[in-house]
Amino acid sequence: MSDSEEGGSRTTLELQNRDELLRHCKRQLLLLQRTKAKLDEHKKERANIESQLRSQLEEISQERDELRSKLDDSRVQQTRRIQELEARNVLLDGELRELQNASGTKRENPVDELSEATNELNLLREEKRELLEKIDSLESARDAALELEKRMVQASAPNEINAVDFATGTI
């Protein structure tokens, strides 16, 4: 091989190597471009998802704030209602004491008072039942007395007629 042949084959080899290197670089560039496109697409999707999540987070925050406000309002209303009921309870306790003082009796426990009233009611019911039994007994005795009186009248009726007839002189 001569120098010129060697030079020509070296040039050809260098050209081939350069062409291969160029093709390799082009492939790498295409791969990088595809990867960059996928990465850009992924970034866009992620940005959209983040935007949606931020929007949802903002809505949730607004709802939370509204619920807190409603809860606070409800607590205030309940506190007012409790205060009103406590004030009413104090007034009613005062009125009850006044009534007890006015009636001259002090009842310490409404349950005891109710129990006592129930016992009295039961005693009155028992007394009523006994009285009804006595009334039934008296009615039976009255009916028997009336029956006896009828018999006596019937038994004495012929004698009375005779007595009347005897008094008038007629037989």
pLDDT per residue, tens digit, the chain (171 aa), is 555 556 567 788 888 999 999 999 999 999 999 999 999 999 999 999 999 999 998 999 899 999 889 888 888 999 998 999 888 888 888 888 888 888 765 556 777 888 888 888 888 889 999 999 989 888 888 888 888 888 888 887 655 555 545 555 555
CB 107 within 8 A of CB 100: yes
| Residue 108 DSSP symbol | S
Tell the residue number behind the tokens 């008296």, with chain if given: 138
Q: Which two tokens mark 167?
A: 């008094």
Whether 149 is covered by a domain: the verdict is yes
Provide the residue range defining the domain that includes 143. Answer: 129-171
For residue 93 the two structure tokens come to 């306790």
Burial bucket for residue 63 (CB in 10 Å: 0-12, 13-18, 19+) = exposed
> Token pair for residue 100?
């007890």
Instruction: Count the domains in the chain.
Output: 1
Residue 117 within a domain: no
The answer to whether residue 101 sits within a structural domain is no
Q: Tell me whether residue 54 is in a domain.
A: no
> Which pTM was predicted?
0.39
Distance CA(120)–CA(113), nearest Å, equals 11
Q: Is residue 171 part of a domain?
A: yes
Residue 170 in any domain: the answer is: yes
User: Minimal CA–CA distance to 87: which of 97, 95, 76?
Assistant: 95
Q: Is residue 166 part of a domain?
A: yes
> 13 lies in a domain?
no
